[in-house]
Amino acid sequence: MAKSRSASMTAFSTPQEHQEMSAKQIEQLQHEIQENLSKLQEVEQKTSRVEEEITHSKRETERRVELMMENGELVHALQQLGCLLQEETRLSEQLKSQAASDGVQTSLLEKRSKAAKEKTKRLAAEILEVKRRLAKLKACKKAAQAAVPEKTSKSKTQQRK
């Protein structure tokens, strides 16, 4: 045992230096552990924030999809209205540029423009009707939801039996 003790002490001049070196290594390892724990906590916090953001984004997407589904008729009517307005604008510009060149074509363009305006008015009226119906349906839905009592845990248990 004396040989192994003296062999391990050859790297250090005294047992006290060996002990001091071990204490420094322990301190260094403890410091590294603390740093790694801090980094781990940071990563866990960031992960938690990202998960919350993902959950929020999913909820928002679901809400938007539901809203679009509820307003499907309105969205479709608005898209048609936009197309008709573009067509009306194009025809009006074409009418203005060709007005001097040909009276017959001008008359046709005027008729088409007038028809587009009429269709636009009808669609606008249809949109207002859809909005009115949607508001009425929402009011009915809210009234129905208010009329249905919320189930308590006791009534849920009774329904299961």
Q: What is the per-residue pLDDT for 96?
A: 76
Residues 66 and 85 in one domain: no
Q: What is the per-residue pLDDT for 138?
A: 87
Residues 89 and 140 in one domain: yes
Residues 31 and 59 in one domain: yes
Residues 57 and 77 in one domain: no
**Residues 6+ away with beta carbon under 8 Å from 112:** 91
The overall average pLDDT reported for the chain is 81
Q: What is the per-residue pLDDT for 12?
A: 52
Residues 66 and 90 in one domain: no
Q: What is the per-residue pLDDT for 145?
A: 84
Residues 40 and 86 in one domain: no
Residues 139 and 88 in one domain: yes
Domain-embedded: residue 155: no
Asked whether residue 9 carries a pLDDT value surpassing 80, the answer given is no
What's the number of domains the chain is made of?
A: 2
Q: Between 114 and 35, whose confidence is greater?
A: 35
Residue 85 sits in which domain range?
72-144
Helices (H), the chain: 2-8, 15-70, 72-98, 103-147, 153-160
Residues 53 and 94 in one domain: no
pLDDT in tens, 74-108: 778 888 888 988 988 898 888 777 766 666 666 77
Residues 94 and 53 in one domain: no
Domain-embedded: residue 135: yes
pLDDT, average across residues 42-49:
95
Residues 62 and 46 in one domain: yes
Q: Between 128 and 8, whose confidence is greater?
A: 128
CA pair distance 91, 14, nearest whole angstrom: 101
